[in-house]
Structure 1
Amino acid sequence: MDALFGWAGFAAALAAFFLSHSLPLRPANRARAVALLGARGFTSAYSALSLGALAWLIVAAGRAPYVLLWPRTPGLTHATLALMLLACLLLGLSIGRPNPFSFGGPAEGFDPARPGIVRLVRHPVLAALACWGTAHLLANGDLAHVILFGLFTGFAALGGRFVDRRRKRLMGDAAWRKLWQQVQTAPLRLEPARLLAGLGLYGALIALHPLVIGVSPLP
């Protein structure tokens, strides 16, 4: 009975997570929410809802019955650390930077002659999410966490295609392709300050992981 409730709680948290990320973004729902809360209020409320649903999902995964699929080994630990380093560097190079190709897609301030990380990765935040999901998939070999992080990884891997379709519709296919060709011919320049920010984030996550999660990510 405890196992049944554990899986039921995990399923409920999983459903709530995806509903909280899809329902508010439907055009009609979003328009009503923005009219009521304002653009910034909607963003703040949506962010708080998303973080709350994510926290519930992570707790529910930890309470689900433990079904081991593979053990944690030193090799998997090193792979996890390497993937998390890549995820942090991608975030450091992309957060707050204009990217007309990605979701949200602000074009203001974007210079196709100096695209930064977008020269290598069109959707760096999704790539970081894929690295994060894969890293934690390797490190957590029980069934509930495999489902959890597998879904995140799959979403990140497929999400770029959906974002590309949407951006092409909004920008026009010809304009989208022309801008991407400009980005592809630009020289690759990665900002040292952003690389350092990514390294700082990586160090902070390693230091805080035992305090927040209760498990050290180090071998």
Structure 2
Amino acid sequence: MTLLILGLLLWWGAHLFKRAAPDARANLGDRGKGYVAIALGAALVLMVIGYRSAGHMPVYTPLPGMGHANNTLMLISVFLFGVGGTKGTLYPKMRHPMLWGTVIWSGAHLLVNGDLASLVLFGGIGLWALVEMAVINRTPWQRPAPVRGVKGDAMNLVGTLVLFGLIAAVHIWLGYNPFLGTYG
């Protein structure tokens, strides 16, 4: 559990560094991007190792049938992750599509995982996304102009279905079949 918590702290710190210490981040120049990328990579590694080694300590029992809700929410989450990249009709309407996708991803996983490590990991990432939005919202938002419109949404939908299939395949490979309700 220690590695999981260290990974979460590093994740939070690396993401909030720019806003918490803007002068220090600016002094790093372009090198700062590399440092942040390395910190985020290390955070991911620590979280994965920490989560997989944490053991199963039940906190609550997920309700029956939550796998369907999880899968539906995951489709929405993955779609939101692509909004900024495909620049469809939602692009100029949502300020934080990736962070909202992260919050939905977090909630979806908490619906089907009731153990302490899942609560720490998914709850910690979801809480980070909410804090990140609150911090970003302290600055004015220049609403972007739509670029691709419905074409962007169609591209995002196709990408969402492909990525969701890949994510499901990785989960099945790891022994957690999201379609049969077998979760770790």
- In the alignment, is the contact (CA less than 8 A) between 1:87 and 1:128 conserved in 2? yes
Alignment CA distance shift 1:74-1:120 (3 Å) = farther
Larger radius of gyration: 1
Give per-residue Cα distances to partners, 1:19-74, cap 9 Å, x unaligned: 3333466223322322xxxx2x5334422320221221232133225321233555
Give per-residue Cα distances to partners, 1:160-210, cap 9 Å, x unaligned: 2321212x1xx6xxxx5xx58x98xxxx74531222111111111111223
User: Please, which of 11, 20, 24 is the counterpart of residue 17 of structure 1?
Assistant: 11
Q: Distance in 1 between matches of 2:131 and 2:11?
A: 18
Structure 1: any 5+ residue segments left out of the alignment?
A: 1-6, 98-114
1:49 has 2:10 as partner: no
CA RMSD of aligned residues (A): 2.8
Secondary structure of 1:151's counterpart equals helix
Q: Distance in 2 between matches of 1:155 and 1:87?
A: 16
Alignment CA distance shift 1:191-1:20 (3 Å) = closer
- In the alignment, is the contact (CA less than 8 A) between 2:4 and 2:50 conserved in 1? yes
Q: Distance in 2 between matches of 1:156 and 1:94?
A: 16
**How many residue pairs end up in the alignment?**
176
Q: Distance in 2 between matches of 1:125 and 1:13?
A: 20
TM-score normalised by L of structure 1: 0.67
Structure 2: any 5+ residue segments left out of the alignment?
A: none
- In the alignment, is the contact (CA less than 8 A) between 2:81 and 2:101 conserved in 1? yes
- In the alignment, is the contact (CA less than 8 A) between 1:24 and 1:46 conserved in 2? no
User: Please, which of 127, 132, 145 is the counterpart of residue 118 of structure 2?
Assistant: 145
Alignment CA distance shift 1:50-1:208 (3 Å) = same
**Aligned ranges for residues 94-113 of structure 1 at < 5 Å?**
94-95=84-85, 97=87
1:122 maps to: 95
1:202 has 2:164 as partner: yes
Question: How far did 1:14 drift?
Answer: 3.2
1:157 maps to: 130
1:76 has 2:61 as partner: no
1:192 has 2:154 as partner: yes
AA of the residue aligned to 2:37: S
Q: Distance in 1 between matches of 2:43 and 2:167?
A: 21
Alignment CA distance shift 1:96-1:119 (3 Å) = closer
Question: How far did 1:120 drift?
Answer: 4.4
Q: Distance in 1 between matches of 2:122 and 2:12?
A: 14
TM-score normalised by L of structure 2: 0.78
Alignment CA distance shift 1:135-1:96 (3 Å) = same
